[in-house]
Structure 1
Amino acid sequence: MQTKIKLLNRRRINQKLENIFLYPLSIVHAPIGYGKTTAVSQFLNQYAETVDLVWASLAGSGGSVEYLWNHLVENIRESDLRHALKKMGYPYDELKRVNLVDLLIDYEYKRPAVLVLDDFQVIDDPGVFALIKLVVQEHIKNMHIVLITRDLSKLDAAGLYQKQLCFTLTEKSLKFTREEIQRYFNIAGCVLSEDDVEKIYSYTEGWVSMVYVLLKGMQRGLPVGKSDTINDIIEQNLYNTLSEKARETLCRLSFLEAFTISMALYVLDDPEAGYVLQRLIKQNTFVVYNEFDKSYKIRNLLQEFFGLRAKFLNIDFRPLYKRAGEWYLRERQYERAFEYLYQAGEIEMILAEFNRENTPDIQFTQFRRFFPIFDTLTQEQCLKYPIAYLQYIRIRAMGTEQGALGRCRDNLDTMERYIQGSTLNEGYKRFLLGEVNVIRTFVVYNDLEAMVRCNEKAMEYFSGGCSCIVTRHKEFTFGSPHLLYGYYKEKGKLRHTAEYLAQHSESLTAPVDGCGTGCDSVALAEYALETGDFDHVELHAYKAMYKAKAAKQTCLMVCAQFALARLEILCSTSERDPQLMGSLREEVLKENNPVLNSTFALCDGYLNACLGRSGEIAEWIRSGDWSGASFLRQGMPFYHTVYAKAVMLSGDAIRLEAVCEMALREFAPYQNQLGLLHNAIYMAVAQKQLHGEEAGCAALCRALEIGQADGIVLPFAENAVYILDMLEKISDQNVFDAAYMNRVLFCAQEYQKRVECLNFNKVVLTAREKEILGLLERGCKHEEIGERLFISVTTVRYHIKNIYQKLEVNNKVLAIKKAQELKLL
Structure 2
Amino acid sequence: MHNESKTRCLYFSDRIISAMKSVVDYPLTIIEAPMGYGKTTAIKTLLTQTDATVLWQKIHDNSLTNFWNTFSELFSKHDVQLSRRLKDLGVPTDSLMLEASLNIIDSMNFENKTILVLDDYHLIQNEVLDKMIAYLVESDIYNLSIILSVRFTEFNRLEEFKLKGYLMFITKETFEFNPEEIRAYFKLCGKPLNLEKATQLYTYTEGWISALYLLMLNFESEDNDYDTTDIYSLMDKVVFKPLDEKSKDLLLSMCIFEGFTAQQAQEIWGRDNAESRINLLVSKNAFITYDAKEKKYDLHSILRSFLEDELHKKAPEYKRKLYKAASWWTHTQGQYLLSMHFSDLASDFESLMKSIEIDKGHSINSDHKDLIIKYVEKCPLEIKAKFPFAMLIYLRRMFTFNETELFKKASQEFMINLQKVNDVPKTYVNKLLGEYYLIMSFSGYNDIEKMSEFHQKSCALLNEPSEIMDNKASWTFGSPSVLYMFHRKSGSLLAEVATIKKAMPFYYELTEGHGSGAEYMMAAEHYYFTGNFEDAEIEVHRVLQLASAIQQNGIIICALFLQIKLAFMRADFQRIQALFNEIRTLVNEKNLYLFMHTLDMCEAQFYSNIHVKRLIPAWISKGELTNTRLFFPTMPYLNLVYGRVLLINEEYLKLIGIADHFMKLANIFPNLLAQIYTQIYLAAAYKQIFRQTEALSALKVALEMALPDKILMPFVENADYVKSLLEELHIQGLYPLEIEEILGIYKTYQKSTKHIVREYFTEDKPVLTERELEIALLAAKGLSNKEISSKLFISTNTVKTQLKNIFEKLGIHSRSLLSPYFEEQQIIKSI
Output the TM-score relative to the length of structure 1.
0.60
Change (3 A) 1:232 1:633: farther
Q: Paired residue for 1:152? A: none
Q: Paired residue for 2:446? A: 446
Q: Paired residue for 1:707? A: 706
Distance 1:239 1:562 in 2: 68
1:279 Cα offset (Å): 10
Q: Paired residue for 2:460? A: 460
Specify which of 396, 399, 402 is matched with residue 397 of structure 1.
399
How big is each residue's C-alpha offset from its partner over 1:293-347, in whole Å with a ceiling of 9 and x where there is no partner?
x99999xxx9876764554554899889877876775565756665676677654
1:487 Cα offset (Å): 1.7
Question: Is the CA contact 1:501–1:520 (under 8 Å) kept in the aligned structure 2?
Answer: yes
Q: Paired residue for 2:95? A: none
Q: Which amino acid aligns with 1:271?
A: E
1:372 Cα offset (Å): 2.4
Q: Which amino acid aligns with 1:2?
A: S
1:746 aligns with 2:747: yes
- The answer to which of 443-452 and 308-317 deviates more is 308-317
Distance 2:646 2:308 in 1: 50
Distance 1:635 1:507 in 2: 24
Q: Paired residue for 2:430? A: 430
Distance 2:283 2:563 in 1: 58
Q: Paired residue for 1:735? A: 734
1:352 Cα offset (Å): 1.7
How big is each residue's C-alpha offset from its partner over 1:698-730, in whole Å with a ceiling of 9 and x where there is no partner?
322322222222222333344454444544544
Structure 1 portions without partners, runs of 5+: 16-28, 40-166, 183-191, 217-228, 786-790, 804-810
1:677 Cα offset (Å): 0.7
Distance 1:566 1:257 in 2: 55
How big is each residue's C-alpha offset from its partner over 1:352-378, in whole Å with a ceiling of 9 and x where there is no partner?
24335x945456546413322223334
Distance 1:603 1:312 in 2: 56
- The answer to which of 326-335 and 372-381 deviates more is 326-335
Distance 1:179 1:397 in 2: 35
- The answer to which of 447-456 and 631-640 deviates more is 631-640
Change (3 A) 1:174 1:478: closer
Q: Paired residue for 2:384? A: 382
Q: How does 1:28-107 map to 2 (within 5 A)?
A: 31-32=44-45
1:509 Cα offset (Å): 1.8
Q: Paired residue for 1:660? A: 659
Question: Is the CA contact 1:598–1:631 (under 8 Å) kept in the aligned structure 2?
Answer: yes
Q: Paired residue for 1:235? A: 210
Change (3 A) 1:775 1:669: same
1:252 Cα offset (Å): 8.8
Q: Percentage identity across aligned positions?
A: 19
- The answer to which of 588-597 and 557-566 deviates more is 588-597
Question: Is the CA contact 1:34–1:207 (under 8 Å) kept in the aligned structure 2?
Answer: no
Distance 2:176 2:626 in 1: 33
Change (3 A) 1:798 1:497: farther
Question: Is the CA contact 1:288–1:296 (under 8 Å) kept in the aligned structure 2?
Answer: yes
Change (3 A) 1:432 1:576: closer
- 3-state DSSP class of the match of 1:706? helix
- 3-state DSSP class of the match of 1:489? coil
Q: Paired residue for 1:2? A: 13
1:488 Cα offset (Å): 0.9
CA RMSD of aligned residues (A): 5.9
Distance 2:682 2:513 in 1: 40
Question: Is the CA contact 2:653–2:685 (under 8 Å) kept in the aligned structure 1?
Answer: yes
Distance 2:810 2:804 in 1: 10
Distance 1:347 1:199 in 2: 50
Question: Is the CA contact 1:35–1:208 (under 8 Å) kept in the aligned structure 2?
Answer: no
Change (3 A) 1:802 1:208: closer
Change (3 A) 1:376 1:343: closer
1:680 Cα offset (Å): 1.0
Change (3 A) 1:234 1:729: farther
Which has the bigger relative contact order, CA under 8 A and spacing at least 6? 2
Q: Which amino acid aligns with 1:742?
A: L
Distance 1:542 1:250 in 2: 66
Q: Which amino acid aligns with 2:356?
A: F
Distance 1:230 1:619 in 2: 53
Distance 2:617 2:436 in 1: 39
Q: Which amino acid aligns with 1:510?
A: E
Distance 1:648 1:363 in 2: 40
Q: Paired residue for 2:156? A: 195
Q: Which amino acid aligns with 2:210?
A: E
Q: How does 1:462-501 map to 2 (within 5 A)?
A: 462=462, 464-501=463-500
- The answer to which of 530-539 and 427-436 deviates more is 530-539
Distance 1:556 1:258 in 2: 45
1:271 aligns with 2:243: no
Distance 1:286 1:653 in 2: 65
Change (3 A) 1:687 1:295: farther
1:442 Cα offset (Å): 1.3
Distance 1:352 1:254 in 2: 25
1:618 Cα offset (Å): 5.7
Larger Rg: 1
Question: Is the CA contact 1:657–1:683 (under 8 Å) kept in the aligned structure 2?
Answer: yes
Question: Is the CA contact 1:495–1:710 (under 8 Å) kept in the aligned structure 2?
Answer: yes
Alignment coverage as a number of residue pairs: 624
Question: Is the CA contact 1:717–1:752 (under 8 Å) kept in the aligned structure 2?
Answer: no
- The answer to which of 423-432 and 551-560 deviates more is 551-560
1:665 Cα offset (Å): 1.7
Distance 2:215 2:526 in 1: 71
Distance 1:792 1:305 in 2: 47
Change (3 A) 1:601 1:799: farther
How big is each residue's C-alpha offset from its partner over 1:47-85, in whole Å with a ceiling of 9 and x where there is no partner?
xxxxxxxxxxxxxxxxxxxxxxxxxxxxxxxxxxxxxxx
1:179 Cα offset (Å): 11
Change (3 A) 1:33 1:11: closer
Distance 2:325 2:558 in 1: 42
Distance 1:206 1:323 in 2: 45
Question: Is the CA contact 1:324–1:337 (under 8 Å) kept in the aligned structure 2?
Answer: yes
Q: Paired residue for 2:96? A: none
Question: Is the CA contact 2:571–2:752 (under 8 Å) kept in the aligned structure 1?
Answer: no
Distance 2:282 2:647 in 1: 59
